[in-house]
A = this chain, B = another copy of it.
Amino acid sequence: MKAIKGGITSPAGFLAAGIHAGLKKAKKDMAMIVSEKEADTAATFTTNKVKAAPVIWDQAVLLGGKAKAVVVNSGNANACTGKDGLLDAERTAETVASLLGTEKGKVYVSSTGVIGVKLDMEKIENGVKTLFPLLSRDGGVDAAAAICTTDTFSKEAAAEVMISGRKVTIGGMAKGSGMIHPNMATMLCYVATDARISSETLQKLLGATVEDTFNMISVDGDTSTNDTCIVLANGMAENDEIIYGSKDYAAFEEAFRYVLGELAKDITRDGEGAGRFIEMNVVNALSKADAKKLARSVVSSSLVKAAFFGSDANWGRILCAMGYSGADFDPSLVDLSFSSPAGSLDVVRSGEPLPFDEDKAKKILLEKEITVKADCHQGSSSATAWGCDLTYDYVKINGDYRS
């Protein structure tokens, strides 16, 4: 596997575009991704009972197993918009399908933004018509910018891997950055690949990968109504089909996990108001499930997050968050340490505080990227979760989002 610079249009046969359609005041707000050849597809969606209209539409698209395009708007989530919202999602797909000469059931639709306001369909339809002639092999950057809402930077990642002698490319783009929480992380993510792989195999791979990437990040504990991760595989790399469990599968999986992992971490780095990126490593836990619960609980704790904002080595809050995680572990065996580019520091051994140099701790915690390690000394399972600090800016951004 080789990490490369690129995004959604890096794999062969994918075109994209991003434009300002007028849904948001002054930034690009509509994107389209098209595969030259019909693609096999896999997807995961929000577990929220309140599902936005496009999510309901996309669940039906997924059942077909084949897709040709994705159209995304920011500025309006088309959630809590009733039957009209569903008709609007369908009409959007129809407009795209008629331009592409495909069926509406092969067009995914995503929306992100304010909840409970009906889509301005005139702007959406004009947007689709404007996007169509702009589709290009270089359009990934514009598309990645257009799906953003309060994001402060675009999220793109790509990788190459050799499969049966053919170069296969995977590229993706994502947006955060509020309402981010495990199960699944609130976000939109699109992944394209020119690999030849069936939708069934792709769905298994996506499910397992999302568990260890997007479901291991937290910004604020809110699971949105619009969470979506869509994968398109158009087979244009002409590799031998990737069979589940094979050596090729393992190679492809490594690259696929890399792309989704980078996007997940970038979403966390760009958490609303975030000043610091926190990686929580749990090792030697009794089971994988316990390790995950422990890691996620720490990065989800408001008190832990506020302590990182203050660069405060308040390890008690970390142990406390592990304690209420619901995981099976023995607090009296736990070792804790902090590390960052400025050094590393052991703060707890066997559940009890170690004396440490507060100045050294401050220096480590003033860095932008901090790793916390918890060794449970009970088993052999590990997990990593990613989060960010809780800042004044988070409160500010969310105190008046609608204006």
Residues of B within 8 A of A352 (CB): 80-82, 116
User: Do residues A319 and B50 form an inter-chain contact, with CB atoms below 8 A?
Assistant: yes
- B-side contacts of A306, CB under 8 Å: 394-395, 397-399
A316→B48 contact, CB < 8 A? no
Does A224 count as interface, using CB distance less than 8 angstroms? yes
Contacts of A320 in B (CB 8 A): 48, 50, 79, 115, 179, 222-225
Q: Is the CB of A351 within 8 A of B315?
A: no
Instruction: Establish whether residues B312 and A401, one from each chain, have CB atoms under 8 Å apart when the complex forms.
Output: yes
Residues of B within 8 A of A220 (CB): 302-303
Bound-state Cα–Cα, A275 to B353, Å: 35
A71 CB to nearest chain B CB (Å): 22
Which residues of B sit under 8 angstroms from A302, Cβ to Cβ?
220-222, 302, 394, 398
Alpha-carbon distance between A390 and B48 when the two chains are bound, in angstroms: 23
Among B47, B315, B399, contact of A312 (Cβ-Cβ < 8 Å): B399
- A115 to B314: give the CA distance in the assembly, Å: 8
Q: How many residues of A contact B (CB 8 A)?
A: 64
Q: Is A329 an interface residue (CB 8 A)?
A: yes
Measured in the bound complex, the distance between the Cα atoms of B392 and A158 in whole Å is 38
Interface residues of A in 364-399 (CB under 8 A from B): 390-392, 394-399
With an 8 A cutoff between CB atoms, is A233 at the interface?
no
Knowing A303-B222, A310-B400, A312-B399, the reply to whether A329 touches B49 (Cβ < 8 A) is: yes
Whether A163 sits at the interface, judged by CB under 8 Å, is no
- A221 close to B82 (CB less than 8 A): no
Contact A331 B50, CB 8 Å, known A115-B316, A303-B179, A353-B117: yes
What 0/1 readout, one digit per residue, does chain A (293-306) give for beta carbons within 8 Å of chain B? 00000001111001
A392: B residues at CB distance < 8 A:
392, 395-396
A117 cross-chain contacts in B, Cβ below 8 A: 353
8 Å CB interface, A66-112 against B? 77, 79-82
A118: nearest residue on chain B (CB-CB)? B353
Mark each residue of chain A from 207 to 231: 1 if its CB lies under 8 Å from any CB of chain B, else 0: 0000000000000111111000000
- The reply to whether the CB of A317 lies closer than 8 angstroms to some CB of chain B is yes
Number of copies: 2
Q: Which residues does chain B contribute within 8 Å of A394, judged by CB atoms?
A: 302, 306, 395
- For residue A244, CB closer than 8 A to chain B, the reply is no
CB closest chain-B residue, reference A50? B323
- Measured in the bound complex, the distance between the Cα atoms of B400 and A350 in whole Å is 25
Give min CB distance, A274 to chain B, whole Å: 12
- Minimal Cβ-Cβ distance residue in B for A223: B324
Residues of B within 8 A of A402 (CB): 312, 314
A323 to B116, Cβ gap below 8 A? no
Q: Which residue of B lies closest to A323 (CB)?
A: B50
Across-interface contacts of A396 in B (CB, < 8 A)? 392
Report which A residues bind B (CB closer than 8 A): 47-51, 77, 79-82, 114-117, 178-179, 220-225, 300-303, 306-307, 309-310, 312, 314-317, 319-325, 327, 329, 331-332, 348, 350-353, 390-392, 394-403
Q: Can you list 22 residue pairs at the A/B interface with Cβ under 8 Å? A: A48-B320, A48-B324, A49-B322, A49-B331, A50-B319, A50-B322, A50-B331, A79-B316, A80-B316, A80-B351, A80-B353, A115-B316, A116-B348, A117-B353, A223-B323, A306-B394, A309-B399, A310-B399, A312-B402, A390-B398, A391-B395, A392-B392
New A-B pairs, 18, CB < 8 Å, besides A306-B398, A392-B396, A395-B395: A49-B331, A80-B316, A80-B331, A80-B353, A220-B302, A221-B301, A222-B303, A222-B317, A222-B320, A223-B323, A223-B324, A302-B394, A306-B395, A306-B397, A310-B399, A310-B400, A310-B401, A314-B402
